A and B are shown apart, each in its own frame.
Chain A
Amino acid sequence: MTAKLRWGVLDAIVVIFALIPVLWIASLSFKTTATLTDGNFVPREWTWENYKTIFQTDQFVRALINSIGIALISTLIAVVLGTMAAYAISRLDFPGKQVLVGVSLLIAMFPQVSLVTPLFNIERNLGIFDTWAGLILPYITFALPLAIYTLSAFFKQIPWDLEKAAKMDGATQGEAFRKVIAPLAAPGVFTTAILVFIFCWNDFLFAISLTSTERSRTVPAALSFFTGASQFEDPTGAISAAAVVITIPIILFVLFFQRRIVAGLTSGAVKG
């Protein structure tokens, strides 16, 4: 009983520290403009006005669709390409391996602010400015280094010879991979998927620079198009409401994947 209590307390601490600022954002989203800055954590006057406002025009909904689509496609492709490359890097020996690893890190390190304008020029010339492709390509590019590194690190941990052992025990190639290797690779793959998705979902710099209309604008960029009652008024209520709404897909995504991260532990493959 005391073990449960101990863990329960630790859980509570984590949840509180993680969620209080989020609740504050939610609180801002329910406050009326008059009471926005009254300093209370719980709103004195509640209103759904902000939520109604953001769904009034289809600007926000369009941005949501763009965000979901672009993030999902980018994550999918980045994880696939990253897995292939990481498998090669951690299992195979070929010249240029170190170079690839180094170059991908180099790409992750270069400040993106200087790359935006040349990218803008390239995309304009290729005709993919303000399209889904125009965002998907940079997202994949900048997510790949993290994907490759993360996946390589985890693939190194996998005892690949278990595959041979399984085959010697009579399993086919596919069965050996599916029943033995895949569960061990799962934690790394799903971790990478979550991190890449969140990166694409929250990116602002590329979203604001490589889009120009609702056709491809994602939510973080759309936030800077929200307007207050006048030029000087920040639409804090609307922005907070939008932030709450766009966090929901993240919660769902994480909820779905978090179980699979540790699924490999109990698969029994590692026991002697």
Chain B
Amino acid sequence: MTAQQEKVAIPAQRATHRKPAISEGKRQERRLGWLLCAPAAIVMVAVTAYPILYSVWLSLQRYDLKFPENREFIGLANYATVLSNNYWWTAFGVTVLITVVSVAVELVLGMGLALIMHRTIIGRGLVRTSALIPYGIVTVVAAFSWRYAWTPGTGYLANLVAPNGAPLTERGASLAIIILAEIWKTTPFMALLLLAGLALVPDDLLKAAAMDGAGWWQRFTKVMLPVMKPAILVALLFRTLDAFRVFDNIYVLTNGANETSSVSMIAYNNLIKGLNLGIGSTMSVLIFITVAIIAFVFVKLFGTAAPGSSEEGRR
């Protein structure tokens, strides 16, 4: 087959043009690489370098905007204050719960949704478009509509599911509602990324597997999933990073009552409402560190499927 001939032909090419071509070619390659990445890199760094560094710098200071004369450098004392505080850890726990549950559910639902969007034989356009609409609605408006829907007397869901209670006033129920709102809103995000990954699974591979007698589930786990690994990584990674910073839904639904605040909300309260730039920045840095650890774990787990790594895909 052509692919085989390809594999033989390329080493031969390389063999004949080995020494002088590689170093010149490599230099060209490098230059091209930098040139192509430069615009993106410049924009990103120019816009965020100062703000991020300034934030980190602020986290090392005691700085309350209301009392500017008390500003002073205190090293890591803010970190000690935040890390030994109950409010922080409660919010952290709530955030981890929301993240883990919603991402797990979204991965499963998203994969199912992607399969439906990909394979359905009728109403393809309708399904794909309507499946993506939840992601396209302004989050705050969607959150308001959920708030109305779950308030007894004013909303259809409350009247249907909990006619005698007020779900938004209880911790367990309101957390469930928040998670539900998150799942509804962002499953399409997962589904879209997984769909594009699905679209690249070679048909002939699947046919070959089917001819070898593999059932649907085996085809799914042994053929589709491995090919989709990069897409799954991107979807999981970015969705987890975003889920950890959940804010809008909680802000509108409960405003953090009954200890349903997330770390983003508590950082917002300290930074923007309390005007405590020191503590607020510290919380931001801590959120960032946590999220970085999560990203690191993911990338390690997925190994070579990560962008920019190794030779796979360079064939």
A residues with CB within 8 A of B:
3-4, 7-8, 10-11, 14-15, 17-19, 21-22, 24-25, 28, 36-41, 81-82, 84-98, 100-101, 103-111, 113-115, 118-119, 122, 137-138, 140-141, 144-146, 148-150, 152-161, 164-165, 184, 187-188, 190-191, 194-195, 198, 201-202, 204, 219-220, 223, 234, 236, 239-240, 242-243, 246-247, 250-251, 254-255, 258-259, 261-262, 264-265, 270-272
Contacts and interface: CB of A to CB of B under 8 A. Distances in A.
B314 A149 contact: no
B36 interface: yes
Interface of B: 1-3, 6, 10, 26, 29-30, 32-34, 36-37, 39-41, 43-45, 47-48, 50-52, 54-55, 58, 113, 116, 118-123, 125-142, 144-146, 148-149, 151, 153-156, 158-159, 184, 188-189, 192-193, 195-197, 199-200, 202-204, 227, 230-231, 233-234, 237-238, 241, 245, 248, 264, 267-268, 271-272, 280-281, 284, 287-288, 291-292, 295, 305-309, 312-315
Contact of B123 (A8, A36, A95, A122): A8
B284 A110 contact: yes
A100 B202 CA distance: 30
Contacts of B268: 113
A21 B149 contact: yes
A18 B65 CA distance: 44
A18 B133 contact: yes
A141 to B, nearest CB: 4
B127 A250 contact: no
A86 to B, nearest CB: 8
Given A15-B130, A90-B307, A113-B271, A157 B43 contact: no
A240 B131 CA distance: 20
B307 A101 contact: yes
B44 A153 contact: no
Contacts of A137: 43, 47
Contact of B307 (A14, A149, A161): A149
